[in-house]
Amino acid sequence: MTALWNTVREAVPLILHGNPTLFTVIWFTLQVSAIATAGAAVIGLPIGLTLGLGRFRGRRVLQVLANASLGVPPVLIGLALFLVTMPKAPLGSLHLQGTRQGVFIAQTILALPFVVAFSAAAVQGLAPGLLAQARALGAGRPQVYALALREARIGVLAAMIAALGATLAEVGAIVVIGGNIYGYDQTLATAALYEANGAHYQDAVAIGLVLIVLILVLIGAASLLQLRGGTSMRFRSAT
């Protein structure tokens, strides 16, 4: 316990003194999280709404697969992306290995199951009569989907929070497809791993502390938005 405390105490000055490489890693981490979460939302929300509201054969099977995909190890996602982007592989012409673009794509794929599974569950939890009434009044599919998205916004925000948390903390996929290249395509999580593997424990702890603060700030802000959404919905219902 004493050794851990001493390591933390030695790590704090490394943060306070400032390090250009650390700031580069923080900025890239923010970029990856924002782009991957937004990309997962654009792709995943329509899929989640379709799974939650659609009436077609095989929907239950697809829902099970969406839920099961939450448990896929991130390193396998990185490995699959690595294999399909090898020089003679189907996507080899994209040249994604060892690039930031590969990291963005890997993190988007990683965040996608959270958006799909959680948003589908959120809209399924809506009162059945609400959407049936909208359909009876002549609402088309886009209008019904928009209504479901609005009414299930608390659950949808939970999906976004889960996706954001995954993009901030994940390591395996980035290391495999990006190579964890120092100062280039490292996020805070992979940079901490890099320093720990090099036995630079003070640096690893310093980066870990920054990551924890970043997670608390971003996830905390998203959670506040979720709480405000719930409060406003309860207020409307009461009136």
HSE-CB of 83 using CA atoms within 13 angstroms:
6
Higher pLDDT residue, 230 or 34?
34
pLDDT at 170 over 80: yes
Domain extents in the chain: 2-238
**% residues pLDDT > 70 (the chain):** 86
Residue 83 has pLDDT above 90, yes or no: yes
Estimate the crossing angle of helix 59-68 against helix 20-53, to 10 degrees. 160
Place of tokens 């080899």: 92
CATH T-level topology, domain 2-238: MetI-like fold (1.10.3720)
The CA-atom distances, in angstroms, between 212 and each of 110, 113, 220, 223 are 20, 23, 11, 16
pLDDT of residue 16: 64
- Name which residue leads in pLDDT, 116 or 136: 116
Average pLDDT over residues 134-147: 76
Residue 139, Cα to own-chain centre: how many angstroms? 32
Is the model's pLDDT at 28 over the cut of 80? yes
Please name the residues in contact with 206: beta carbons below 8 A apart, sequence gap of 6 or more: 11, 12, 14, 15, 22
pLDDT of residue 230: 60
